[in-house]
Chains A and B, each alone.
Chain A
Amino acid sequence: MAASMEKHIEYYFTGDSKDASKQLAQEINKGNSNFLKFIELLGNYLSNPDNVTRGRATQLIGDVLDLLPFAFLTSDQVAFVTKFLLAKLSDHHTIQPHALQTLSTLTNRCFPLPEGLPEEICKTIFREIQNQSLSHADRRATYTIFQNLIGSAKKAIEEMGGDFIIGFIQQMDSEKDPRNLIICFNIAHFISSNLYLGPFTEEMFEILGCYFPIDFTPPLNDPHGITKKELVEALRKCLAANSEFAQYCLPLFLEKMTSDLQEARKDAMLSLIECAPVYGSKGLTEYIGSLTSTLKREVLMNVSADLVSIGKEAVKAVYQAFTPAQEEIISKDNIMAQSIVELYQDVVKYLQGSDVKKSALAFGLMQSVAASSASAFCIVTSLILPGLIVICTNLNQASEQLMFLRELQELLHTFKQFQINHNVVQVVEGNLPSLLALFEDKLNNVDNAEIQLEAMKALSILTLPPVCSTPETAQRFANTLVVKSLQDAKPGLRQQTLASLHNVVKESPSLGTTIIQSLVQKSGSCNNKLVLDAMIHAVIDEDSFKTVNGFLISKIALDVATNNVSDMLDCTQTMGELVSQQASDRTCMDLVVSETALPLLRTAVSGYATWADETKDKCAAVMSSLRKVFTVISCSIQKRDVTALWDKFPKLMLDSDASCIDIVGDFQTLKPFKPDSPWQQTRLVALLEGFVIGGDIQAMIEQREAIFEAAYVLGEHCEDDFTQLSACRLVAAIFNKVPIGGQIHWLLEPLTEKLKVAMGPNQPSSAQLRALRMWTWLTKATECRGHSATGILSSYLVSFLADPFLGAEVAVSLGLIVQDMDDIFTLKLKGNITPLYKQRFFTLNFKNILDGFSKAATREIKQNYLTAISCITSNLPLQVMKPHLVKLVPLLLMSLQQDSKSSLSHTLTTLSSAIVNVPDVIVPSVDDLVTLLMDLAKSHVNMKVRLIALKCLENLTALPLHAVAPHQNNVVRDLAGTLDDKKRLVRKQAVDTRCAWILLEKTKI
């Protein structure tokens, strides 16, 4: 072994040093005693008279240590090697760097260091090393040693105290390399925040302050990745590490804040924001006057929005540092109070409002002072609020009014933060009458939506406790809101009206009843939907829920009786919104089965006969919105309520027992699950569908299989399209949710056999289509839950692409399987969803589709496969398709040639991202692609297609020059035609595309 080690050592000096040290480390790693042998064998080299050999031998120790496991050496060995290396520091100057590098590896790999050693390492380095004379890599070794010691021997370093500080300061002096500076700043941060600086505070600051503000642009292709931001943040952290730095830092910041360079001013202000909380009132007191006046100037200069907002933040940070420990009324001679008053006196001339822009800036400045603390808020508000109100009242121009109203709004927003403080409330209360008068006037008398919006926001705060305790004010505001909510306003304003209404009722619940009553009275005379919207926003608790719910139920019943379809639609939609709004309120949800679900069911069942054939479409819309209500209900109620409601469905729908939902009358003919029942009856299944989609299947036990089979039969045979889809979705939802091992899973096989027969060639076409739809939904349900049968179902579906009659439908259905839906099969609706199901579907079936395509006999059949690919890929993320793009792209190109209207834009979108992300795959097809895209861009009827085709053409210019250059002339010439497209958006893209092609070679070179 010794011989082989000797050989490796020799090889290190004569051949590949990297390989040799690797071999040596392997040998040594076999046993600790080998390390001793290694050092013994190295002896001759270490004491060689040649400096270079001695240096490399020292380096070898480090190289080998770096490859050994952590803490491989014993503490005696560490002490021995360290002492040797420290002695090497005083050897010839060419050996120093090697010794430092090895020491830095040793301090990193070996721990714990024996007692006394860390101090010795530091002291020797401080004594022997003149860091400034070394190269940047060796300097880094020095810093790394300190950094390692801070990590592994923190206590020893802390005990060294002043010695370490002054030593480090000397070593760091005049460091310029950004890579080293990052390490230095880290060490400096440790020192400043953990050690007592005492007499060295100024030195420490000097060594750091000279870098402020940092100006560094990393070289292009910098492999080290050090950014200016990292350096700036590291330095800022150092300056904010110790409150003793205040006396030196603040003058520096002040100087930089008056600099001509915007970057310097910005950096100084950002540093001040970080340092102010650390320096506290003690450090800041001396400079507060100069700081605030400098910041004031920055804000008022209004150089850029960025600088203004940073300036305001800095003002806020400075005053925040003065926040008294306990919020109390501060005396007038308090420094903060004095300073705020001085600042106010400085800006008061701007606050008068003669120069609107300056005035708004000055208010903004005072506003940020107010945001710093509750005490500051009290002082500022009593100074500026009366003036601000006067300005807002007197201004005439809308834009100016708006500017000041927004400032006022900001102030009120700040008030909300501090409103638990009694003094703060008092200050605002003092100005309440004038504030109310101002905002009520703006809300009622100004015909500008934005001003009304601001007024409304403000009144939402001002009319409610703790500011205003008189209910009349809130009542007045609520009345205004009711009136406004019944007007058709801009979306933003309307939203705010409804939100404010909700807020008012929430804060003073007594108003709720009156508001709802007044809305009920207006329901006959005003726009139905507006009234209903306002009404549900006044619902905040069980009582109001009951009232509004009752109103809606009776309204729906009345609408059914009078056959008022449009109102009925509004009401059912509102009902859905109401239930979703209160879904998290347990007490309301406990009521919802008896108060909402059953009455709705009753109305739907007893009124089914009122639908006439000509209202078939409207009935579908009403049923869809009722379905949504049932989905929300079953999703939000407790399990026992789900069971209670579920139990009624089989009785009602299978046994025609209407008494279970307390309807009197003869309903013996009610057979919603019978395929030949009238469509008015069968459509009731949609309610059950909605209920199953949202609810927990574990609570739906009673006659589940019977319902499943009945729904299946309905789906297979029902002629009514709406009912049939509903039945398919019901079957799919049950199958998706039922737990593994359930009886329903055993039903799948016979059902699929039946469906296969129904899809067979000798069946009537309508039956085939119905069976296909059922099959598709079943496939989707199994795909989503990752069921074992999914492979059989989906591959059978794919095989139908070759069917001359069903193929086109199948192609679209395949897209449906990978489509994301939000009203079924989602986690929120308790669906059974496995992750990445779309990816699995694509990967498993893609090959079959490709094979089918190549075998397809006629053009029409091929077209089916292409449509299928287009429909599937448009719903998939690009990452999934990436491995298959080589095969996919030619097919996508072919599908571009087909004249299928629906999928063209999807295909183009997929292609467009493929061009950007996987250019290599596109290059071979580029010739065809250019011709195809040009044709689409020039002559397709749909502007969206033209637009995306042009976008694809633009993306093509990013391909390698040799691939696209041959087309340049033709494309540029042909694109001239698209510049005169009748749609502006297309023209805009055409210009971009054409210019990109003209400049093709220019951008590549």
Chain B
Amino acid sequence: MGNLDNANPIVFLATKERNVLPEEEDDIFTDKFDTREIFDLIRVINDPEHPLTLEELNVVEESKIKVDDDANAVHILFTPTIPHCSMATLIGLSIRVKLLRSLPSRFKVDVQITPGTHDSEQAVNKQLADKERVAAALENSHLLDVVNQCLARRATG
């Protein structure tokens, strides 16, 4: 294994499991998608470099997620731990793939780097927004393996 980009990252506390409200257990009500639900999906993704989740590294935050269930739109900003992080694209791709697998197809998902937190922000954003490039990346079995490792649950991965 080569040298790590950020060998000694700051670790943040993980949030607790979401409390289940009585109406969530009632069949009559319809629960809309909200930011916490999207956050719960992506906070458990493993970092490619460290045995920590994106939440523990503060790469993803609930406050940087926007969801509009009616307009079928999800917008996510993520923050690489350091401005020259070479893993930024991979992290973005993992978030994208996770949401591709976990959200209904009606949603349009935007994944971008928090403005001003990465040196090649524009290039990465462009790559992540390009559907064809994402699809092509997933054709590459090596890359898919790495993404799957990020998405595997920690107990098995």
Interface residues of A (CB under 8 A from B): 941-943, 976, 979-980, 982-985, 987-988, 991, 994-995, 998-999, 1002-1003
Contact = CB atoms under 8 A, between A and B. Distances in A.
A1002 B104 contact: no
B81 interface: no
B6 interface: no
A994 B27 contact: no
Nearest to A976: B105
A664 B27 CA distance: 55
A942 B26 CA distance: 9
A214 B106 CA distance: 56
A777 to B, nearest CB: 33
A1003 B148 CA distance: 10
A979 B105 CA distance: 9
B142 interface: no
Nearest to A986: B31
B150 to A, nearest CB: 11
Given A991-B41, A1002-B152, A985 B104 contact: no
Instruction: Please indicate which of the listed interface residues A983, A994, A998 has the most CB atoms of chain B within 10 Å of its own CB.
Output: A983
Nearest to A975: B101
Contact of A943 (B27, B103, B105, B156): B27
Contacts of B30: 982-983
A980 B106 contact: yes
B24 interface: yes
A1003 B152 contact: yes
14 contacts: A941-B27, A976-B104, A980-B106, A984-B31, A985-B20, A985-B25, A987-B31, A987-B37, A988-B37, A988-B40, A994-B101, A998-B101, A999-B152, A1003-B156
A980 B37 CA distance: 12
B41 A983 contact: no
B152 A942 contact: no
A980 B104 CA distance: 5
Contacts of A1003: 152, 156
Contacts of A984: 24, 31, 37
A22 to B, nearest CB: 46
B101 A942 contact: no
A716 to B, nearest CB: 40
Contacts of A987: 31, 37
Contact of A979 (B104, B148, B156): B104
A987 B145 CA distance: 25
A982 B102 contact: no
Nearest to B36: A984
A452 B12 CA distance: 32
Which of B24, B101, B145 has the most CB atoms of chain A within a 10 A radius of its CB? B101
A260 to B, nearest CB: 13
Contact of A999 (B25, B40, B102, B151): B151
Top-4 shortest CB links A-B: A980-B104, A984-B31, A991-B102, A982-B30
Contact of A983 (B24, B101, B145): B24
B27 A995 contact: no
Nearest to B98: A995
Contacts of B31: 982-984, 987
Contacts of B20: 985
B103 A979 contact: yes
A984, A994, A999 pick with most chain B CB within 10 angstroms: A984
Given A976-B105, A994-B102, 13 more contacts: A943-B27, A979-B103, A979-B104, A980-B104, A982-B30, A983-B27, A983-B30, A985-B20, A991-B41, A991-B102, A1002-B145, A1002-B148, A1003-B156
A835 B106 CA distance: 56
Contacts, number: 44
B106 A995 contact: no
Contacts of B40: 988
Contacts of A985: 20, 24-25
Interface residues of B, number: 20
A985 to B, nearest CB: 6
A943 B148 CA distance: 30
Interface of B: 20, 24-25, 27, 30-31, 37, 40-41, 101-106, 145, 148, 151-152, 156
A943 B28 CA distance: 10
Nearest to B103: A979
Contacts of B101: 991, 994-995, 998
A733 B57 CA distance: 63
A818 B147 CA distance: 50
B102 A995 contact: yes
A780 B122 CA distance: 74
Contacts of B148: 999, 1002
Contacts of B152: 999, 1002-1003
Contacts of B25: 943, 985
A999 B156 CA distance: 11
A999 B155 CA distance: 14
A999 B46 CA distance: 15
A617 to B, nearest CB: 24
A942 B152 CA distance: 30
Of residues B25, B102, B105, B145, which shows the largest number of chain A Cβ atoms within 10 Å of its Cβ?
Answer: B102
Given A1002-B148, A1003-B152, A942 B102 contact: no
Contacts of A998: 101
A628 B126 CA distance: 71
A983 to B, nearest CB: 6
Given A984-B31, A985-B25, A995 B105 contact: no
Contacts of B105: 976
Nearest to A972: B101
B113 to A, nearest CB: 25
Contacts of B24: 983-985
B41 A942 contact: no
Nearest to A977: B104
A979 B102 CA distance: 7
B151 to A, nearest CB: 7
A944 to B, nearest CB: 8
A750 B130 CA distance: 84
Contacts of A979: 102-104
Nearest to B155: A1003
A983 B33 CA distance: 10
Contacts of B106: 980
A530 B106 CA distance: 52
A302 B24 CA distance: 37
Contacts of A995: 101-102, 151
Contacts of A982: 30-31
A999 B145 CA distance: 10
A941 B28 CA distance: 10
Contacts of A988: 37, 40
Contacts of A980: 104, 106
A30 B105 CA distance: 82
Contacts of B37: 984, 987-988
B151 A942 contact: no
A350 to B, nearest CB: 23
A68 B113 CA distance: 76
B23 to A, nearest CB: 10
Contacts of A991: 41, 101-102
Nearest to A1003: B156
A991 B100 CA distance: 11
Contacts of B104: 976, 979-980
Contacts of A1002: 145, 148, 152
Nearest to A946: B27
Contacts of B41: 991
Nearest to A943: B27
Contacts of A942: 27
A398 to B, nearest CB: 20
Nearest to A990: B102
Contacts of B151: 995, 999
Contacts of B156: 1003
A985 B20 CA distance: 8
Nearest to B21: A984
Nearest to B144: A1002
A909 to B, nearest CB: 16
A1002 B41 CA distance: 20
